[in-house]
């Protein structure tokens, strides 16, 4: 990882750091950010370099009535300028550490079959790649 990148766990004291940065698909909405931080099932880690937010990883705890909680990693993103510096790997490792400490026994995510960089990242983190899964969505959840 870049020596200059620092990984942070999102919380009430540092949430303001996400406002105004373009690392997400859309501008961060202050009200939604407040709700996210207040939700005990949500987790987000982000990377900064010299005060600039350059990457993030976030997801949610999935509760089951018959087994331990699992965790779904919703998205991992790093600004293009900061690709191939180990930042995404560091973000994912920190997320895996945090959610395992929370008692999550299954951790999963999905990516597009053609996303070679993401697939290499997850393989490098020793994730098992599965086959034969079909994804369905409602209201544009997958491509909004």
CATH of the domain at 10: 3.40.630.30
pLDDT for the residue 24: 95
Nearest to 82 by CA among 56, 111, 109: 56
For 92, the domain range is 5-124
Rounded to 10°, the helix 116-124/87-101 angle is 50
What's the pLDDT score for residue 59?
A: 97
**pLDDT tens digits, residue range 10-62?**
999 999 999 999 899 999 999 999 999 999 999 999 999 999 999 999 999 99
Does a structural domain hold residue 140? no
* Distance of alpha carbon 63 from alpha carbon 102, whole angstroms: 12
Domains in the chain, number: 1
Domain annotation covers residue 106: yes
Average confidence score pLDDT of the chain = 93
**CA of 81: how far to CAs of 36, 49, 74, 77, 92, in Å?**
27, 12, 22, 12, 19
């Amino acid at each position: 990882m870049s020596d200059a990148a620092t990984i942070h766990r999102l919380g009430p004291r540092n949430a303001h750091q996400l406002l105004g940065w373009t690392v997400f698909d859309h501008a961060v909405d202050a009200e939604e950010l407040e709700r996210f931080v207040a939700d005990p099932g949500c987790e987000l880690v982000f990377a900064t370099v010299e005060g600039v937010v350059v990457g993030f990883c976030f997801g949610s705890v999935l509760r089951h009535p018959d087994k331990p909680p699992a965790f779904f990693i919703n998205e991992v993103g790093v600004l293009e300028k900061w690709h191939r510096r180990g930042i995404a790997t560091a973000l994912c490792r920190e997320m895996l550490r945090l959610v395992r400490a929370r008692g999550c026994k299954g951790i999963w995510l999905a990516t597009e079959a053609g996303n070679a960089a993401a697939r290499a990242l997850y393989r490098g983190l020793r994730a098992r790649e599965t086959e034969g899964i079909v994804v369905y969505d409602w209201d544009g959840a997958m491509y909004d």
